[in-house]
Amino acid sequence: MTYPIQKTDAEWQAVLKEKHAEPGAFDVTRHASTERPFTGKYAKQWADGSYHCICCDNKLFDADTKFDAHCGWPSFSLAVPGAITEITDHSLGMRRVETVCSQCGAHLGHVFDDGPTPTGLRYCMNSASLNFSPS
């Protein structure tokens, strides 16, 4: 799949270093790794603002859509329209829906259909793939 923003691995590493991203951010965003639950810097953050892709700054979520799913990762009930691309993921012997940034293809996490109303969705994100912008 091709995304509007394209960079080499070295360029992405430089971008993440410049932004002082978490140590695992490159593996999470560019190689679809997953951070350990309850370890990400945004798992317990509840400030007003918005969450953006750590790689390209694409706005992904408003903070008022964040909720505590008790899963160990930041969870949101609604993404900014058009900000996320969903890809069927058959890894680990199961069927899941991977979420990636629609601008740069950074792996963000997965979306599940066990979230709160009205959407019923739980966007389960890696903190390492996010950057927070306060209001």
Tens of pLDDT, residues 85-132? 999 988 778 789 999 999 999 999 999 999 999 999 999 999 999 999
Q: What is the pLDDT of residue 8?
A: 97
What are the tokens at 19?
């932004």
Domains of the chain, by residue range, sit at: 9-134
Q: What is the pLDDT of residue 44?
A: 92
What is d(CA 68, CA 75) in angstroms, rounded to the nearest whole number? Answer: 7
Q: Is 46 exposed, middle or buried (0-12, 13-18, 19+ CB in 10 A)?
A: exposed
Residues 16/26, Cβ–Cβ less than 8 Å: yes
Q: Supply the residues annotated as catalytic.
A: 124
Chain centroid to Cα 113, Å, comes to 17
pLDDT tens track for 38-95: 999 999 999 999 999 999 999 999 999 999 999 999 999 999 999 999 999 887 787 8
Q: What is the pLDDT of residue 91?
A: 77
Question: What is the phi/psi pair of residue 12, to 5°?
Answer: -65, -40
- Fold classification of 9-134 is 2.170.150
Q: Is 115 exposed, middle or buried (0-12, 13-18, 19+ CB in 10 A)?
A: buried
